[in-house]
Amino acid sequence: MSKTSKAWMQEHVNDTYVKQAQAHGFRSRAAYKLKEIDERDHLLAPGQVVVDLGAAPGSWTQVIAGRVGASGKVIGVDLLPVDPIAGAELILGDFREDVVLAEVERALAGRKVDLVVSDMAPNLSGISSADQARSLHLCELALEFSCKHLKKGGNFLVKTFQGAGFNAFQKDLHKHFKTVTSRKPQASRGRSNEMYLLGKGLIDPAE
């Protein structure tokens, strides 16, 4: 094991959020990022319809299912298999593909969505410019999905990475939502350049 790998493993083992996730049955420390944002911005409520894009390993889906309750509808989508989560319907596949979108639409059964969340990140190549471009592309696709499936006034939370194209994407969000804010949860690792953008209040294009 390299020095870098050893350092990461040591940090991971000692991480407060990792320990909390293990203690409370969450599948990853990422659960605390969503919990913190929700406590600040009040995104989740009983009875909501929520789609989680890039759901694996499922910690965000766990948080969402717990907060929308039995009266809500939670759909998690990912290329990777996700172990079953009580109160959630999980769809295996790429949400960009028509067959997978059809599965999502079947699960929605005509209902519009209250909230779309995306914690997606591309498989990293180590080439920062390429990784940033691929990350932004995923963000754009998630935004396109949201504009199609959110109800008027619905909300969208997406993980981005600060770098080339970030400001342009943020500006694009302003075209579709009444308010756009950025969030850097305490559970985000300090060295990470990840930033969550929150669009609240989808604007009806007819307006």
> What pLDDT, in 10s, does the model give residues 34-60?
999 999 999 999 999 999 999 999 999
Q: Is residue 8 assigned to a domain?
A: no
- Of 6-10, 116-120, 149-153, 170-174, where does mean pLDDT reach its minimum? 6-10
Q: Is residue 152 assigned to a domain?
A: yes
Distance CA 49, CA 89 (A): 11
Range of the domain at 39: 28-202
Q: Is residue 106 assigned to a domain?
A: yes
Residue 183 maps to which CATH number? 3.40.50.150
pLDDT given at position 190: 63
Tell me the catalytic residues: 159
**What is the mean predicted confidence (pLDDT) over 127-140?**
88
Q: Is residue 75 assigned to a domain?
A: yes
Q: Is residue 10 assigned to a domain?
A: no
pLDDT digits (tens, 9 = 90+) for 146-189: 999 999 999 999 999 888 999 999 999 999 999 999 999 887 76
Alpha-carbon distances of 160 from 22, 61, 101, 142, rounded to whole Å: 26, 19, 23, 11
**Which residue is associated with the tokens 């995104």?**
43
- How far, rounded to the nearest angstrom, does the alpha carbon of residue 15 sit from its chain's CA centroid? 22
**What is the mean predicted confidence (pLDDT) over 72-90?**
96
Q: Is residue 21 assigned to a domain?
A: no
Structure tokens, 201: 């209040």
- Cβ 76 vs Cβ 57: under 8 Å: no
Crossing angle, helix 59-68 and helix 31-41, to 10 degrees?
Answer: 40
Is 70 exceeded by the pLDDT of residue 111? yes
Q: Is residue 187 assigned to a domain?
A: yes
Q: How many domains does the chain have?
A: 1
Residue 180 phi, psi dihedral angles, 5° rounding? -135, 125
Report the range out of 112-116, 121-125, 129-133 with the highest average pLDDT. Answer: 112-116
Question: How does residue 136 score in pLDDT terms, banded at 50, 70 and 90?
Answer: very high
Number of Cα atoms under 13 Å in the Cβ half of residue 34: 28
Q: Is residue 154 assigned to a domain?
A: yes
